[in-house]
Structure 1
Amino acid sequence: MKLYLKSIAKQLNNFSLSLDKTSILIDKPWALIDEELEMQKLIFKKNKELILSKNGKVQVGKWDYFPEAKSLLIDRNSDKILCNEAFIDKGVMILKLDGTENRFFTLANENIVPDLDAYRYLKELRSQKLKIKEAELIDGRIIEIQRENEYSEPELGNPVTVEAETIEDGKYQLTKKENYYEIRKGRIFKILTEKKYTNSDGKEIYIQQQDNWKIKNGDYVYILGNPVETSIINFSNSKNLVVREGKVVRLERKNPFTRWLSKFWKQTWGYYYE
């Protein structure tokens, strides 16, 4: 949860308000969830008094805000804590304990988040602000794809996370089994669709393609579930598939003249003549 809050605060930084406008804070029913997951209700008064209620017992403390440091001092009588702004919203605030990296306090505004489920509120807010589209992986995890707008489909370069955390580099299979995303440095590097081909020998060749309509350099090649090593594969009566370390190098014609024509076409138009 601590890492989740840290990631959320960083990703939503551009959408954060500031407690410079103390109207966000004052006379609102805030609920603080502490590290023991116990709830304490707080009302910040304009005169810098702080009304605290926990398990029905009420105390009066103090508070102050230091705009030069973007820090909120909370005097709860039992202790004083100095918290820095991490993410500020009218519904939920994330405050980081001063001098620490991963100690956070979450406050929920009961008027806006009646069930005080700050996690749900932040998840929905992040999804809305970052135009997130979710996709389920075959292992059950849900990946979060940040798009340019809410109407666009996932595309190359989109950031990808799981529970707001950057996903490791690799190739990930979706529950729609023929679809894959290859992720590098936390972004979509390739969008792949697996196609099955049967050559003239009756051998089944599976190619994870970047383009639904044609085979391209860099596509992944599998036979019997295993990546194909560097080789030239009989692909059809007229074509060979050249593979290096499991990836397509080119699809070439077996006839010397048409092979030359295919290479010329590639150099001229950017794809192989078929």
Structure 2
Amino acid sequence: MYEYLKFLLVKLKSIDDKLTVIALLQNKFWVRINDKNLNEKWFFKENGELLISINGNIVDGRYEQLSEGSLIVELDKNKILLNQNFIYNDILLLKKDSDDSDFYAFYDDSKFNNSEFEQFIEVSRKEVLNTKILKLADNTEAEVLMKPNKNIISLGDSVLINQKLTVLEFLETANNFYELKEGEITGIFIKDKYKIAEINIVVKQHSKILSVGDTIVHSNEFIHDGRYKIGSNLGIEIIAKEICSKYSIITCETLNKKHCLEVWCMDSMGFSNGDLVFENGEFVQDGKYRLSILKTLRVVAGEIV
């Protein structure tokens, strides 16, 4: 709810629809929206007195309108400046000067009871906000506030859990990983699964294609640093759960059929210097390996030179 009210505050500020007629504020009870389970009501009298009822206990205060849309509120000899104040659909929003996160939200007690207001907010937020529900890997749900007129999640979108901006820094769904900072999406990644050396792994990928820089998020066994095959034609090198090298694997037989080589190529187009050459899972011995009349591989320390 608070995130929707913050959105309203930004929206109203952008169209400069400030509270300019002080009479709209006066002589009615405004129920303050809070998460402390307090029954708090504010009553602005015409003479500048402010009465606040907290669970039936009265606190005296004062208020003064300085200019269009600005109020000074005095409580317990402390004064605060509220310089962006709006009434929208019987919702009162008062924001403290220079602090976007500190604002007061109320609803008109004569228009709603608590359950009616919650229903109103839920309907209103669905009509106004462009949202998408994410089902997380732990079967909980997150709500993404997408940009207007967008139908896909993108960087900068806000994420709510239980209608509050989440403090989580990482989310996982069936198909994606999301990195967050202060409730906003800062990274979107593809989630994919592979099998290496009989170990099942889940990788956080920057694109649909497995690439250098992708990281292993989950595995059913400990992953030691080293080189691993994925299927028969893809090889990767892993250091600290990060893919630091990627190879296309080409299997070839020497012309005399004495050796069956496995060449790990850095370039998928073919052999090049620095490619790795294995036989039976080990680096081949130094030497020349003739693959055809025109093609011979010269290998030193397991690499084509």
The answer to whether the superposition gives a TM-score over 0.5 is yes
Matches within 5 A, 1:199-238: 202-212=198-208, 214-221=209-216, 224-225=219-220, 228-238=223-233
SS at match of 2:19: coil
Q: Mapping of 1:150-189 within 5 angstroms?
A: 151-162=150-161, 163-165=163-165, 167-169=167-169, 171-174=170-173, 176=174, 178-184=175-181, 186-189=184-187
2:243 maps to amino acid: V
| Structure 1 residues 123-138: aligned runs within 5 Å | 129-138=128-137
SS at match of 2:243: strand
Q: Go from structure 1 to structure 2 and tell me whether the alpha carbon gap of 1:32 and 1:7 turns closer, same or farther (over 3 Å shift).
A: closer
Structure 1: distance between partners of 2:221 and 2:181:
22
**Aligned mate of 2:82, from 81, 84, 90:** 84
- Partner letter of residue 38 of structure 2? L
- Specify whether residues 87 and 225 from structure 1 end up closer, same or farther in structure 2 by C-alpha distance, changes over 3 A only: farther
Where structure 2 has 5 or more consecutive residues not aligned to the other structure, the ranges are: 251-261, 271-305
Deviates more, 1:102-111 or 1:181-190: 102-111
Which residue among 4, 10, 14 is the counterpart of 1:13? 10
Counterpart contact for 2:12–2:18, Cα < 8 Å? no
Structure 1 residues 83 and 36: alpha-carbon distance in aligned structure 2, compared to 1, 3 A threshold:
farther
Q: Is the 8 A contact 2:130 2:146 kept in 1?
A: yes
The 8 Å contact of residues 202 and 216 in structure 2, kept in 1 or not, is answered as yes
Unpaired segments of 5 or more residues in structure 1?
265-274
Instruction: Between the two structures, name the one with larger relative contact order (CA 8 Å, sep ≥ 6).
Output: 1
Change (3 A) 1:36 1:145: closer
Question: 2:145: which partner in 1?
Answer: 146
Percent of matched pairs sharing the same residue: 15
C-alpha contact (below 8 Å) 1:183/1:190 kept by paired residues: no
RMSD over equivalenced CA pairs, Å? 5.0
User: 1:246: which partner in 2?
Assistant: 241
Q: By how many angstroms is 1:100 displaced?
A: 10
| Structure with the largest fraction of strand | 2
Partner of 1:42: 43
Question: Residues 9 and 94 of structure 1 are in contact (CA less than 8 Å); yes or no, is this contact kept in structure 2?
Answer: no
d(CA) in 1 for partners of 2:24 and 2:70?
Answer: 14
Change (3 A) 1:53 1:188: closer
Bigger radius of gyration, 1 or 2?
2
Q: CA deviation at 1:154?
A: 1.1
Query: CA separation of 1:244/1:183 partners in 2, compared to 1, >3 Å: closer, same or farther?
Result: farther
Per residue, is there more helix in 1 or in 2?
1
Match of 2:70 in 1: 70
Amino acid at match of 2:265: R
The Cα shift of 1:235 comes to 1.3
TM-score, structure 2 normalization: 0.57
Deviates more, 1:16-25 or 1:240-249: 16-25
Distance 1:226 1:167, change over 3 A: farther
Q: Provide the TM-score with structure 1 as the length reference.
A: 0.62
Return closer, same or farther for 1:141/1:8 CA change in 2, 3 Å cut-off. Answer: farther
Aligned positions, number: 250
2:69 and 2:24 map into 1 onto residues whose CA distance is: 18
Structure 2: distance between partners of 1:188 and 1:251: 26
Q: Secondary structure at the match of 1:13?
A: helix
Going from structure 1 to structure 2, the CA distance change for 1:140 and 1:25 (only over 3 Å counts) comes to farther
Contact 2:176 2:190 in 1 (8 A): yes
Deviations 1:17-51 (A, max 9, x none): 42224364356653346888234363655xx5779
Aligned partners of 2:178 and 2:187 also within 8 Å: yes
CA distance in 1, matches of 2:217, 2:103: 47
Aligned pair 1:259/2:265, yes or no? yes
